[in-house]
Structure 1
Amino acid sequence: MTDAPEAPPPITPPVAQAAAHGSNPWKMNDFRLLWAGRLTAVLAIQVQSSALLWQVYEIARRDHPVEQASLYLGLVGLVQFIPLLALTLPAGEMADRRDRKTTVAASIAVEALCALAFLGMALHGSPPLWGLLSVACVFGACRAFLAPASQAFLPMVVGRPALPRAIAAQSIAFQTGAIAGPALGGVIVGVSTPLAYGVSLGMFIVGLLAFLLIKTSGRPPTPEAAFGRWQAVREGLKYVWTTKVVLGAISLDLIVVLFAGVALLTPIFARDILHVGPEGFGLLRAAFGVGALLMAVYLSRYPIVRRGGLWMFGAVALFGIATLTFGLSKVVWISAAALFVGGAADMISVNIRQTLIQLSTPDGMRGRVSSVSMLFIGASNELGEAYSGVMVRLLGPIGAAVFGGFGALAATGVWAAIFPALRKADRLS
């Protein structure tokens, strides 16, 4: 007699917990752990990012004027985008074939090692810029594997009925980290840059421990595909290309953040235009997150369920106006208010985009589709920083921000015209 084949581990929450708790993800213990782990990891990333941007800019300014030093800030984004570009699509295919929970845990562990490397270099005085950029490159490779696996793992934890509220709740975790991280990072960097990296390392470890306590299996529920890996990648790309609502949503985000992303400009404005130092830098970095957090809290309670396309285009246009205002402001509180409004508008766009993608994608393809989405997001963020560095070189920091605001407004009109299906998207439930 042969032994019966080993059954795959049950994916309990979508079957049992979701049935018991309906659309409320907060009643699921695994979701609470996932939420706490995400909050801590994002907080660690933001503290580390603030320290790295400030350290790179300070080192570059010793030998270069503002315009040339800004190019080094652009390199911070570029060296993280290159591994994202090379690895995100294969990582998405792996998320549909391998255990998603294991992939996320391993990625966070390597991110903690990157924080340890930053700490070691900072303790030895003024590190070489090539050393900081090399570790940032490894960090970008970790994010390539982390993003699609974690996004594909969320529906396995909460199930489809709770997914819209879970996405909004995850956004709360992200934006809480985006608020506290830059503010905390700015304060700690004012005391000690090595201390900022040490705090980041400790939070990465805490986030990893919270994630390891999750009991839900991360094994994809569908069997491994019979075709090759690159054919599986092409299948994900084809799905995104043929689903015009999804394609329009993620490509609009790419173009707008590429033009109007101001994260790289905040240290330049804080140090050389508004003259508010590292504390004001933390305020500017946190203001965007405050607006996004408050909007995420609102959406977790009152999610948008009708006229999603119109809400999305309106939010993107408001984001462009906020960027334009930030570029023209010479008062720190007006600048912070503009970033606050931009963060709230951006959260509406993010929430609608993620809900459209998750609800319209089969679970067996979620890793690949999430990888395409994250590739666009990575391009808009990291490549956008490199683009901003070049634009500062050509137009100056104020001209770069103003040009970005007008570019976002123009992109809103163009995308509304060429993606009518996205403009007419209605129900998000």
Structure 2
Amino acid sequence: MQKKDPYAALRYREFNIFLLVRFALIFGWSMQFIVIEWQVYALTKDPLSLGLIGLFEFAPAFLMALFAGHIVDQREKRNLLALCIAAFSLISFGLFWLTSQSVIEAWSKNSILYSIYALVFFGGFLRAFFGPTIFSLVALIVPKKIYPNAATWNSSTWQMARVLGVGFAGFSISWIGVHWSLCVVFGLVVFSFIILFQIPKKPILNPKIGENIVSSLTEGLSFVFKTKAVLGALTLDMVSVLFGGAIALAAVFAQDILKVGPQGFGVLVAAPSVGAFLTMLVTAYIPISKNAGMKLLVAIFGFGVCIIVFGLSSVFWISVVALFFSGVTDGVSMVIRQTILQIKTPDHMRGRVSSVNSMFVGSSNELGALESGLTAKLMGTATAVVFGGTMTLITVVTTALVSPTFRKLDLTKDIEAHEREEG
């Protein structure tokens, strides 16, 4: 087998443009989410209101996911992504306008709050289309033999954008306020829209264009539930995100427990992404496809431990370290999961399989935020976080015991097969 090139995917110009587009989008989206969380908690002083942000984004994303996957598999990917970005720009501008001084003076707090929730709901609808479109577009830009390397750089870019986006959000709230922070988000979205057109339109590889939607969705779901490697990876990650969503309560920890203000809030929410980003850079040089199943189990177990430590901590630096290592373990999990999906999914089903992925994992971020907000309301903030981490540990141990096939999963042969196929 040839020596691995850690920069293989970066040698394709279109992939670099794609990474720039994704960086701008994720930076803006992450920044927007953090600024809105800060604003909503400042308006309500109720942790449940943070959970409701997750609910309003989760509901449409989950309900539309399968339909969105069908549409993505039937349409040209570049223009579909451009349409999604254009719609996202309307949300960003709406939030920018809602936080203007004229609106704040003329509207009641409840009116502003409900309008924010409405725009978040619209964003959840778009989320259903973003994930499958991006996942499918990557596969049309790079050859199959470098999917694992592309998955590493793609995930690394996502994490780096989150690092800078959430970190900058915390500081920008302090420097320029919520309103102008959201103006920055709007500018980033417009920039990503313009740059996207440097990527040419791509062919539609689906041999069943015009297929009945029921048959199409049934085929996608059947593939996921029959492919144990895909199902196991998605289930594990869903549970860890659902019960390990401590970061959704970071505003509560920053304001009421650690008392570190917006700057400390920015550090807390950035810490996991810093850890994940550094881990992903390492995986570009040290592939983790061998014994992937066991590595994924160990990574998610470590994630659960870190979440428990964060929940128990009342010292700022301990909290930051715990969140940093939660990101390290999550970074390993993300690269393995993305590699499994890219390697195991046929080209004509990428939209539908990615949609199922968004139902399992993507939407569980928002549902996890709701779970965290609700349990924090019932149990107290720290107890809720410890409970979530404990549930993650229980799930990992149970999976390891009842699924020896997944525990022994190894992707090395699949990757070597693609290399032989494409030379």
TM score, norm. by length of structure 2: 0.92
* Secondary structure at the counterpart of residue 35 of structure 1: helix
The amino acid that maps onto 2:401 is A
**Is 2:249 the counterpart of 1:272?**
no
**In 2, distance between residues paired with 1:118 and 1:338?**
32
Counterpart CA distance in 2 for 1:256 and 1:341 is: 14
| Corresponding position: 1:212 with 2:203 | no
* Counterpart amino acid of residue 212 in structure 1: F
Preserved contact between residue 80 and residue 137 of structure 1 (Cα < 8 Å): yes
RMSD of equivalent CA atoms: 1.4
Q: CA deviation at 1:22?
A: 11
Deviation at 1:225, TM superposition (A): 4.0
Q: Give matches, 1:45-194, under 5 Å.
A: 45-61=29-45, 69-123=46-100, 124-125=103-104, 128-190=112-174, 191-194=176-179
Q: Which residue of 27, 30, 37 corresponds with 2:21?
A: 37
Distance 2:140 2:402 in 1: 34
Q: How far apart, in 2, do the equivalents of 1:212 and 1:224 lie? A: 27
> What is the letter of the counterpart of residue 186 of structure 2?
L
Once residues 57 and 117 of structure 2 are traced to their aligned partners in structure 1, the CA distance between those partners, rounded to angstroms, is 8
Query: 2 CA distance for matches of 1:420 and 1:218?
Result: 40
- 1:378 shift after superposition: 2.5
Larger mean CA deviation between 99-108 and 413-422 belongs to 413-422
Q: Report the AA paired with residue 194 of structure 1.
A: H
**Structure 1 letter corresponding to 2:192:** G
- Look up the match of 1:64: none
Distance 2:262 2:364 in 1: 25
- Give how far 1:28 is off: 0.9
Query: Using the alignment, how far apart are the partners of 1:263 and 1:112 within structure 2?
Result: 25
In structure 1, what is the Cα distance between the partners aligned to 2:7 and 2:253? Answer: 43
Which residue of the other structure, out of 9, 23, 27, is the alignment partner of 2:11? 27
Aligned counterpart for 2:187 among listed residues 195, 202, 215? 202
User: Does 2:281 match 1:297?
Assistant: yes
Structure 2 counterpart of 1:15: none
- Name the CA shift for 1:70/1:401 in 2 (closer, same or farther; >3 Å): same
**For the Cα contact (< 8 Å) 2:74–2:210, is it kept in 1?**
no
Query: Which is further off, 303-312 or 411-420?
Result: 411-420
Identity percentage of aligned residues: 33
- Compute the displacement of 1:418 (Å): 2.8
Instruction: Indicate conservation of the 8 Å contact 1:33/1:214, yes or no.
Output: yes
Structure 2 unaligned runs (5+)? Answer: 416-423
User: Out of 347, 362, 374, which is 2:358 matched to?
Assistant: 374
Contact 1:102 / 1:218 at 8 angstroms: preserved in 2? no
Whole-Å Cα distance in 1 between the matches of residues 148 and 84 of structure 2?
26
Look up the SS of the partner of 1:221 in the other structure.
Answer: coil
Runs of at least 5 residues in structure 1 that lack an aligned partner in the other structure: 1-20, 62-68
Q: Deviations over 1:216-274 (max 9, x none)?
A: x3332233346401210111000001111111110111111111111211101000000
Count residues in correspondence. Answer: 401
Counterpart contact for 2:376–2:383, Cα < 8 Å: yes
Q: Distance in 2 between matches of 1:377 and 1:305?
A: 21
The C-alpha deviation readout for 1:50-108, integer Å capped at 9, x for no partner, is 110000000002xxxxxxx1111001000001111111111111111111111111111
Distance (Å, rounded) in 2 between the aligned partners of 1:306 and 1:335 = 32
Deviation string, structure 1 residues 288-333 (Cα, Å, up to 9, x no partner):
1100000011112222121101100000000000000101111111
1:286 maps to 2:270: yes
Query: Structure 1 86/219 Cα, relative in aligned 2: closer, same or farther at 3 Å?
Result: farther
**Distance across 2 between alignment mates of 1:27 and 1:282:** 34
Counterpart amino acid of residue 122 in structure 1: T
2:269 and 2:384 mapped to 1: Cα distance?
18
Q: Is the 8 A contact 1:84 1:143 kept in 2?
A: yes
Q: For residues 369 and 184 of structure 1, what CA distance do their matches in structure 2 show?
A: 33
Counterparts of 1:92 and 1:219, CA distance in 2:
17
Output the CA distance in 1 between the equivalents of 2:168 and 2:51: 23
Does the 8 A contact of 2:340 with 2:411 survive in 1?
A: no
